[in-house]
Copies of this chain bind each other. A is one copy, B any other.
Amino acid sequence: MSSALRRLLDAIPPPDEAAAGLARCHLDQLTKPRGSLGRLEELAVGLAALAGGPPRADHPVVFVLAADHGVAAEGVSAYPQVVTAQMLDNFRRGGAAINVLARQAGARVVVADFGVLGRRPPEAGLVERRLGPGTANFTRGPAMSRDQALSGIEAGAALVGQAARVGVDLVITGEMGIGNTTAASAIVAALSGAAPAAVTGRGTGVDDATWQRKIDVIGRALAVNRPDPRDPMDVLAKVGGFEIAGLVGVVLGGAARRLPVVLDGFIAGTAALLAVALAPAARHALFAAHRSTEPGHALVLARLGLRPYLELELRLGEGTGGALFVHLARAAARLYGEMATFKSAGVSESPEPPVATAEPPREGQT
């Protein structure tokens, strides 16, 4: 492992348990039955443990990392490969779903080219972090070199560093890349040992024949490359993607800076699985925005021990589910900060403590 990666992994701190305990105590003073805000309370506590103080979600950023995939040549998508570049333009012009949802959520969108096919002139509104002109077709050999995978992780972490310096307090993982559900399924199969058919879905909406081909392609990729499940960098390099490498870096960089990292769908979840394999401490910074319809996503979330907040049957990617999650994070933060307490509002508390509490308040906290 390179020393730069080692430094990044070692920089990830444990959660602030004192801040979490104080947050639980504060929530129990607010004018509502204890625990009655359900998962929003758990979310407020998780955000507080990262912030080391009151939960915040004021300045979110969505990282939309885009790259092309050599495996697209095997005919695994319903869309031609040129759509990756076309959608990059759509993101820049603000016409894609993630642009709309980010505007609604008051989130910045950072679109980064990690290796989209076709060179383009340096353009406003696009961050250049190209690792190459798309990955190699991983049915014939590794998708990228180990050095490229490492560069992708470092570039992703650096993007978070820049955002943190301008006050971002919530990081959302987004992506675009025709063929990238095939890469994600291959990664999950390699890491978990699950059969390719169990973790392969219909991506953008492929028909039965294409779905079967996708499963065969993943089986061939694993047979040809033999990625080592105990070595996440080996799995990433052999059957991953450039934008997935970047997202691994976004997750690690966010966790190192104590920022909440919101996972969008299957691709982002797969990147998080690699990140947590590299640095288990990154786990507490993660929030699963939603559960997509990709079958591999449920397995990823189970392995990460994350319960998604939204179940909207999204399967678009781009960070769309993550942008929707901002409203829930902000709701948790505002309820925490703005609700009256029983004392301030003159509302009677329950004479006996209700049953459904998570933990009794500790003495000496208010």
A residues contacting B by CB (< 8 A) are 30-40, 78-80, 82-83, 86-87, 89-90, 93, 95-97, 99-101, 103-104, 202, 204-208, 293, 309-316, 320, 324, 327-328, 330-331, 334-335, 338-340, 344-352, 354-357
- Inter-subunit contact B204/A331 (CB<8 Å): no
Across the interface, A38 reaches (CB within 8 A) one of B86, B87, B314, B331, namely: B314
- Inter-subunit contact A312/B309 (CB<8 Å): yes
Name A316's closest neighbour in chain B (CB-CB): B36
- Inter-subunit contact B204/A354 (CB<8 Å): yes
Q: Which residues of B contact A31 (CB under 8 A)?
A: 87, 90, 95-97
A100 to chain B, nearest CB (A): 5
A72 to chain B, nearest CB (A): 13
- Inter-subunit contact B205/A350 (CB<8 Å): yes
- Inter-subunit contact A104/B330 (CB<8 Å): yes
Q: A33-B79, A313-B39 are in contact. Are A86 and B204 (CB under 8 A)?
A: no
- Inter-subunit contact B86/A347 (CB<8 Å): yes
Across the interface, A86 reaches (CB within 8 A) one of B95, B330, B345, namely: B345
A270 to chain B, nearest CB (A): 18
Q: Which residues of B contact A312 (CB under 8 A)?
A: 37-40, 309, 328
5 additional contacts (CB under 8 A) given A36-B314, A100-B334, A207-B352? A32-B316, A38-B314, A93-B345, A95-B340, A100-B338
Q: A207-B352, A208-B355 are in contact. Are A37 and B97 (CB under 8 A)?
A: yes
CA of A335 to CA of B327, assembled, Å: 16
CA of A7 to CA of B312, assembled, Å: 37
Across the interface, A78 reaches (CB within 8 A) one of B78, B208, B350, namely: B350
- Inter-subunit contact B101/A335 (CB<8 Å): yes
Q: Which residues of B contact A39 (CB under 8 A)?
A: 312-314
Q: A86-B346, A347-B90 are in contact. Are A206 and B354 (CB under 8 A)?
A: yes
- Would you mind naming 11 contact pairs between A and B with Cβ atoms under 8 Å apart? A31-B95, A32-B96, A34-B205, A79-B348, A80-B348, A90-B347, A99-B338, A101-B334, A202-B356, A207-B352, A310-B310
